Structure 1
Amino acid sequence: MRRPQGRTRALLLACAIGAAAGWLGVRPAEPAPPSAPLFAVDPAPSAPSSTASPEPTTTTRKPPPANACGTLAAKLPLRDRLGQLVMAGLDPADEAAATRVVTVDKVGAVFVGGTATHLLTGGRLAALRAKATVPLLTAVDEEGGRVQRIDALDGPTPSARQLAATMSPEQVTAVAHRRGEQLRSRGVVMDLAPVVDVSDAAANTVIGDRSFSADPATVGTYAGAYSDGLRRAGVIPVLKHFPGHGRGSGDSHLGLVRTPPLAALRADDLRPYATLIPRGEPVVMLGHLDVPGLTGGVPASLSPAAYRLLRENYRFAGVAMTDDLGAMRAVTDSYSLPDAVTTAITAGADIALWSAPAPTGPVLDRLERAVRTGELPQSRVRDAVTHVLRLKTGCV
């Protein structure tokens, strides 16, 4: 197990101390202060009970060093920099395999899926984070309703549609805050929620009751409220699925989904993003969606034009990540996992996700070859690593 030494560790700590001015510090008017520190400040907390949130840090906050992101990135070997750009799926019952992914492959993020809860109990996920050279993102899919990860441990929460129909935005913030505290107590620092798709489709369809509403303004209000609750608990929210899955032609688990044309998305599905992104939302997930007039028949998650739309038209400055590249036929019908990850990062993704356990070595080998041949430009790697390190540490 290799630890950051000397100046590298000092830079990590300085950046982490300044991170409160980053993604957790950007709020709508009159926010409540966060109830937990950024995880990068405390990369190895002791495991609290399932009902308690971590204690706030008492460290004095100082500005991070100038160009700290670039300095940190430059100190990492190429393969370790590339590792920061993947979110590898773990077997939640196999602690030894999870440790190898973090300590040997040195990935920057992991996803805990499936139904087993071993890694989510006994402080195991916090212990895994403590083994990482660079602060580790630990993520789950916890939307409520049909998509829940800790309901067997901490009880269920309602679907997005039910929340919007029965609660005020303030009440939804409280629900998400409580869920965020439960996630954080189990070592989770990122939740792949809220869903920002606009839909009135039947509850059991692919998006259905995962959507807050068929009204874009309502979606923006309630997704923002849910995001606020997670952030106040010290959990990173992820807006999904850009540029809008709510009116898509089907389920991207089963094949490529076609949306209405871009002009129609701008008038409806993209409106919540125009509301939420200026608030400083930290992460946006791109879906496997073919958008006429934008993506040219490939998924948005692999389309340079989709990432340009997010960055240039919607002025998003945070981390852009993909939907699952390893278990959804919209991608797997045409790409191997190493090729899909390489294509996504080259197109503009900062983090490429696969949800089920898969060998990490071939993915990193493929990325290294792409850098050395020029297929994946060094400038794209620098840009992506900077986004990821800024999210983790608050460096500039």
Structure 2
Amino acid sequence: MTLTALLDHPTRVIALVRLAALPVFLAGERLIEHPDARSGAFRVILVLAVVYAVLAAAAAFSAPRRRPPGRVTASVDLLLLGLLTYTSGGPFSQLRYGFFMVPVAAAFLQGPRGTAIASAAALSCYLVATTTYPDARSDAIEVEITQTVYFAWLALASMLLSAVLARRQEQILALSDERGQLVARALEAEERERRRLAESLHDDAIQNLLAARQALGGADGGAEPDLALVRTGLDRTVSQLRDAIFDLHPQLLRHAGLTAALQAVAERFGTQAPEVAWEIAVDDDAAASRDETVFAITRELMTNAVRHADPTTIGVSIFPRDDGVVIRVHDDGVGIDPDRARDATVQGHIGLASCAERAEALGGRLEVASAAGAGTRVDVWLPAPD
């Protein structure tokens, strides 16, 4: 079994820790001098603890249905630890440090409430094992009080640690759920784009080709073919196919560079939003650095601005900064309301979210500066490729 597989089963980890504790307990009882009031029973209880630890480990590595409930094993653990402590010196036993493991383990395996319950149970067990110990030494009370204070401090720290871990787990679950929604929305958007492209080719390009073929086919009956109609249909088809190819992969980016490709995107938006003025500036030092990714994110941000900002001016600038490249798209539109931005992904508007996902996947980040009625500025920083 690999370490990763072992860490996926907390009960198995606990079983191994329990087994490893037994030789440590034996060494603590043998090597450190302590009162002998109840030492005779220590060996018997230690043998019982060994048998229990072996059986518990076998159960932990067996089928889940054969494993005893966690509360049962926890109760037996505390009972045996208390008895071993009592029979090896009580308040002076080195085994008393084993109680410190209880709140720490609970912090990783349970929530703050479970950690508090486990800590209280362990402290109670320790106090019973030490206060009932028949020893007349005057410093026993001081040892017990000191141990109790340390234990209370550790229990509080463990509960805070458990709260932090629980909070992080909630955040991870929330991020996982948000990522799942984003992936689903992205797949839906991709399917819609495929459908749009297919419908566009069928309704426009194919129809133009059919019309051209029909015009040529008229010559079979002796009539003169309408070459002007054929030429118009072919020209429209070529233009539509070029647009479709640009949507799929901008060849202009490869042949003419990032600036020309972004200007081409702006020109295509001219038919949808002719009132928008575009300002595009690409620093020469930023060009050729992740050009395809930079182009994809920039086009998405440009599309987002045209569709949702209602702007009169959109500025696009790409420049180097901090050993990377910055994509900045700003507009003078209506701005982004914080509530609307939070609900955007749920409502299917995944433009900014998808750009943020792409940037974070490369070790970058996305920042939005906006206010309702005051325009929007989106900065995306991408690190330079290795």
Q: Tell me the TM-score normalized by structure 1.
A: 0.22
More helix per residue: 1 or 2?
2
Q: Tell me the TM-score normalized by structure 2.
A: 0.22
* Bigger relative contact order, structure 1 or 2 (CA pairs below 8 A, ≥6 apart): 1
